[in-house]
Chains A and B, each alone.
Chain A
Amino acid sequence: MDPVTTTPRSAPRSAGPIAWGVVATAALGALIVAGSRKLAHFDAALVAYTFSVLFATFGLTYRYAMWLKRPPTDFYWRRGWQVFLRRGGRGGRLGRLAGLARHAVSDLALNRFIFARDRLRGLTHVLILWGCLLAVAITFPLVFGWLAFESEPGDPGLYRVIVFGFPAFAFPSDSVLAFFLFHGLVWASFLVIAGVMLAMRRRMREEGAAALQSFVEDFLPLILLFAVSLTGLMLTASYTWMHGYAYDFLAILHAVTVIFTFLWLPFGKFFHVFQRPAQIAVRFYKEAGREAEPERCARCGHGFTSKMHSEDLIEVERRLGFDYRIDPGKAGRPDHYQRVCPPCRRALLAAAQGAAWSGVRGGTLVAPGAAPAHVNPGLGEGPLGRADAENFHG
């Protein structure tokens, strides 16, 4: 086999993702028409928001579908569903369903893995996450006409909630519930602003963050969230304490910030919101791997990852244009470098250098296949967790 130095990759075709984008956008459009009872409860003043959400839906679906076309993503997507829906396995399908709920709460709702990175960082993210979720839960149904408030005929002091065109509960407009409900976006903005301040503080103080951050990737999302929250609060301040001073201007300013944020959703950092649930699939894939046959290192014989993961990576690498095959013609030799564990890869690298110097400096042979060991894991070097301990035979 001739060595290859490049990995030619053809750009994925975009026709499929465009079609998915159109389908998702059309589906949301149909739901808006149906949910607002043929636009009977649709608030025409919010039409710009609606169209920006429709555009964001197209963009997000398109990017998601393009993302799934990458060979490693495609593999994990299909394998994730396979291991989740398979028969048997520890706990069975019901056990995995419970696991799904557990992981969703731990990872997505509580962000426990971010707290493990840094507690202040975890708090920052939870504040922004729940502020945004609260705002989305309030505004999207309003913008789509799925939720509307009407004064009760005959009792103007009562507000009736209309959900998907159906009258739901009513409440007095001067009640505590009404105060909390109608100021929902104020509470959301408090959460977001607190989170944004903490994030900005970190980005302005940490040298590690400063070395890698960029305006578009790291500051623009924070600035957008802050602008949306602040202009929204200014609207409330205008009609509550300032007799509607500059309300029209503020309404347009707020709309501009919100619409820009929606349009930005598919392109920048906000896309991670839609990528992140994939980590739950990864958890199921790892669990399935631990129940399956391990890959045995072709050099030291230690088990490391699962054979399934190893085989999947071999195929992913092939599709990406990498060729780590070791001449398969020789019996008793590994067919692929993927079957060598990470510590043995480091040992082989050192051995290759030793071999280059052996004619100059002499040297002592080490036993082929001797298992390398971390020099001093107790001092912080070595495996960082369970996966490393398995893969580095630590």
Chain B
Amino acid sequence: MPVPADRHFYLDPARCIGCNACVQACSECDTHKGVSMIQLDFVDRARSTQTVPVVCMHCDQPTCAEVCPADAIKRTEDGVVQTARKARCIACNNCVLACPFGVPKMHDEANLMMKCDMCYDRTSRGLKPMCASVCPSQALFFGTREEIEALRPASRPVDGFRFGAQVITTRVRMLVPKSFAEPLLAVTAPLESAAAVEALDPLLANLYQESES
């Protein structure tokens, strides 16, 4: 069964409190038992407690799948980019290094790339992915557009990201303020201009209550 078309994953890293619940829940997923696929990083541990969870963004045109020499990564019709097919993956690391979001992991011993598949065993049955079902701050949210709009009246989702000259659109969406006028998030902006600096909202964002006022 496909993942329902009206359900989407919404990512809001600024709300992450680094509780690790997603990491633990992820490892209980039946499609990659015992191994956690979510990436959870301190961005600048010396200066900030801000943590960043990143799941597979499920690109409409996945670079990982295109650069795979073994043709092991498939995108199903519901827009989910599946983890490597076990019979095909030759553990070359191309996907790990080419993913613009830095998501896939390599299990050396098993000669197998592993990555988030949006808990396909659950989402294809209408359930939430494990990480989104346990995230206490809703940095990871899975649901309908109406649900997220009711929860975050001052936010809007974007599904386009610019990396240098390349624009990637994704099934997973990231929340930005409604006042943010750009159609895309320019991920590589800090690398392109000395004027652009990387800004994060380390603690205030987590305490922030969103309202329309």
Q: A residues near B, CB below 8 A?
A: 1-7, 67, 70, 72-73, 75-76, 107, 113-114, 116-117, 206-208, 210-212, 269, 272, 275-276, 278-279, 282, 285-286, 298-299, 304-305, 309-310, 313, 316-317, 320, 322-327, 330, 333-334, 336-338, 340-368, 370, 372-376, 379-381, 383-388, 391
Distance (whole angstroms) from the CB of A133 to the closest CB of chain B: 17
CA distance A347 to B191 in the complex (A): 12
Q: Which residue of A lies closest to B42 (CB)?
A: A373
- Given A278-B90, A342-B96, A365-B198, A370 and B44 touching (CB < 8 A)? yes
A-B contact pairs, 21 of them (CB 8 A): A2-B165, A113-B109, A210-B121, A276-B90, A323-B165, A346-B54, A350-B13, A350-B54, A353-B185, A355-B198, A355-B199, A361-B205, A363-B204, A364-B201, A372-B43, A375-B18, A375-B41, A381-B20, A387-B108, A388-B96, A391-B93
Question: How many interface contacts (CB-CB < 8 Å) are there between A and B?
Answer: 337
Q: Which of A117, A344, A349, A364 contacts B202 (CB 8 A)?
A: A364
Q: Which residue of B lies closest to A6 (CB)?
A: B61
Are B66 and A360 touching (Cβ within 8 A)? no
CA distance A354 to B24 in the complex (A): 26
- Given A354-B201, A358-B199, A361-B205, A278 and B70 touching (CB < 8 A)? yes
Distance (whole angstroms) from the CB of B165 to the closest CB of chain A: 4
Q: Which of B41, B68, B97, B124 contacts A347 (CB 8 A)?
A: B41
**Which residues of chain B have C-beta atoms less than 8 A from A3's C-beta?**
162, 165-167, 184
B38 interface residue per 8 A CB criterion: yes
B46 interface residue per 8 A CB criterion: yes
Are B101 and A346 touching (Cβ within 8 A)? yes
**Is the contact region of chain B dominated by helix, strand, or loop, or is it mixed?**
loop
**Which residues of chain A have C-beta atoms less than 8 A from B114's C-beta?**
384
B39 interface residue per 8 A CB criterion: yes
Distance (whole angstroms) from the CB of B65 to the closest CB of chain A: 10
Are A76 and B92 touching (Cβ within 8 A)? yes
CA distance A72 to B29 in the complex (A): 31
CA distance A282 to B88 in the complex (A): 13
CA distance A58 to B118 in the complex (A): 39
